[in-house]
Amino acid sequence: MSALSRQHIEQLVTGSHWDPLAILGPHMSQQNGVPALVIRSFLPEAREAVVLAQTSDEVAFPMARIHESGLFEAVLPPAPAPSHYRLRVVDHAGRLSERYDPYAFAPLLSDFDLHLFAEGTFFKAYETLGSHVRRIDGITGIHFVVWAPNAGRVSVVGDFNQWDGRRHPMTNRGATGLWELFIPGLEDGTIYKYEIRPRGRDGFLLKADPYAVASELRPKTASIARDISAYRWNDQAWMENRRHQNPLEVPVTVYEVHLGSWMRIPEEHNRWLTYRELAAKLIPYVKDMGYTHVELMPVTEHPFDASWGYQATGYFAVTSRYGTPEDFMAFVDAAHQAGIGVLMDWAPAHFPDDAHGLSQFDGTHLYDHADPRLGYHPDWHSRIFNYGRVEVRNFLLNSALSWLDRYHIDGLRVDAVASMLYLDYGRKAGEWIPNQFGGHENLDAVLFVKDLNVLVHRDFPGAMMLAEESTSWAGVSRPTYTGGLGFTFKWNMGWMHDMLDYFSHDPVHRIYHQNQLTFGLLYAFNENFMLPLSHDEVVHGKGSLINKMPGDEWQQFANLRALYGYMYGHPGKKMLFMGGEFAQRDEWTHDHSLDWHLLQYGYHQGVQNLVRDLNRLYRSERALHAVDHDWQGFQWVDFHDAANSIVVFLRKAHDPDEQILCVCNFTPVPRYDYRIGVPHERFYRELLNTDASLYGGSNMGNGGGVHAHRDPSHGFPCSLQLTLPPLSVTYLKAG
């Protein structure tokens, strides 16, 4: 007879027992006063079952059904104790199978793991939580760990158990809220979810694994167990070199890409390129164009294509749209071997309320706040993370660190930082709750961001952290030890808005907007800025960059070339969204390819040639990038000639003799014999002229260069007399 109480049996078979290891598997017992080893298994699919115990020889012990729902029990001699036994099961259809018993394996989480998790300092939890292929006592299987503190029971379900939550209930690890189970016999590629029964209520939830590294292709939503440790990287030289680089002093010119719409295969039902196809096509293109980095719009798993990945359900999972995790590793590896860094957009500001995702994960507001004034995002109709909860903070920190560690990502661009920092972001009076000091700062989010940046810079030297932060929050890109948030760079949204507004005006009216060209230099060195012309500026009815430009076709292209010329001369690292480099006409949409056919036309090819040459000039001339974030790298020559919409400035490297003169004429009127002060009586070679015929311009210029004479001007001892082409930017360097 079984020593189990009826209550325990009922709890097990009804799915309400929180500790299946207390019942199932091997247990020492007394049978008629004699010690015995009792093995129990819950096998609702079984007609009969046998324990195959390996001692000196394999011995079969029949199992008795002790409950009609499928609870079986076998009594074995207490010694010698068998090694891991197998269960031979005949199901109700007469099919025979054998498997190891999951409940013969002790829990694998150590007390130290549990301590770190509860403390919020388990910074490599991604190596433990989720699903991991393990080999225990010579037996291969998958170890599952999930956090669900308010669940009454959690089970692993999948095709391997016919999605029956009764068959593989997990073991609860006490106050941590973690549940774990090792299931022997499962292999790499197993599809699974967690069946979660919330405590104190009927029904169950089917949830994808928050820590999973792979997922089914939408609209399917199950997680996939994958062993990604076998990939062999070939980017050791890149990674070692990155460790010794200071991102502030090296050229950083970024090509922002949405992988699903950069290029498609229209002959094959307009399909996406795979990660490996992108490695073969996108990486050589980026290299040819002279960019230092490619920035990927989110490749975290997401259910809705039109969210572009910014509403993620898989914070550790590479989206299956373009291939497997190993395929993505191969993409990053190829980029590094080609000398291209890979940045990735990462969105910890909010998450969607899809039923299989983080929302109401264990039947409660586990990852967010229950109060909508804190937990609901009115702009995006999504949920806001509870940054004050240590397990949630640890989840997000692990997500960020895992991309840098597992996938060798060179930096993260953190999306919507402003929405994280302010409790009243997007809210009216009365729709938000002040912090403990009565302010509108989200102090928990501030602490999270600081901790994130400290960890990244500590553990991944040379990696970049970029903030999309649109307010005047002080010190976004300053070190945390000085009171800053610790980002490497901040997007200069003010510069972007000023430039696009300035260039949208007809040149005849620019006389009244000269301040928009110069205002950014008042604060250009308050932060380590990146100048972004991102996807956000070419969607939702805003039109493409070329269509923002005024005038006829020639003037539109000349204006765009002048914008790019000014951008590359202006202090700050550079970023341009795909399609902008060849003046894509249509507004960007995520569901079809860029209009590559436009490159058959001269004006579009000319813009592409210009961007390529600007990238190469920017990279080769230290004056244009080495002192990007200090006044020592910039000097105005003249910004007073608003009547002619002309500005002139110098860019400087650490060596004062390394200088580049940038001369900008933002009207369609050529200026002849225009006098500009310069520091040296030397020949000034024309390095680049955006009006060159190669770029689609009128080919007006200065014949390759001009010699300066000792005629003081603009406070300098010498001066040049230049021809300024219409709607142009010209770069000159003293020989």
Which residues form the catalytic set?
415, 468
Rg (CA), the chain: 31
CA atoms within 13 A on the CB side of 46: 26
Neighbours of 434 (CB within 10 A): 11
Closest of 390, 400, 282 to residue 331, by C-alpha: 282
Q: Going by DSSP bridges, is the β-strand pair 253-257/573-577 parallel, antiparallel, or unpaired?
A: parallel
How much of the chain is helix, strand and coil, in % rounded to 5? Answer: 30, 30, 40
Token readout for 655 is 């060596």
Stated as kind and residue range, the H or E segment containing 99 is: strand 96-100
- Residue partners of 20: CB distance under 8 A and separation at least 6: 12, 42, 103, 169, 170, 171
Q: Which residue has the tokens 């903070």?
A: 393
Neighbours of 656 (CB within 10 A): 9
In the chain, the amino acid numbered 36 is A
Return d(Cα 675, Cα 482) in angstroms, integer.
44
Is-contact 154 169, C-beta < 8 A? Answer: yes
Q: Which residues pair with 713 in a beta bridge?
A: 716
Which sign does the torsion angle of CA 404, 409, 410, 413 carry?
negative
Dihedral of CA atoms 129, 134, 136, 142 in degrees, nearest 10, equals 70
Is-contact 104 84, C-beta < 8 A? Answer: yes
- Residue partners of 444: CB distance under 8 A and separation at least 6: 386, 387, 388
| Concatenated DSSP letters of 642-666 | GGGTEEEEEEE-SSTT-EEEEEEE-
Token readout for 204 is 């169950």
- Residue partners of 519: CB distance under 8 A and separation at least 6: 494, 498
Is-contact 545 535, C-beta < 8 A? Answer: no
Token readout for 355 is 């039923």
DSSP 8-state symbol, 451: H
Return d(Cα 395, Cα 316) in angstroms, integer.
10
Residue 253 phi/psi, 5-degree rounding, is -130, 120
In the chain, the amino acid numbered 594 is L
| Concatenated DSSP letters of 621-644 | -GGGTTTTTSGGGEEEEE---GGG
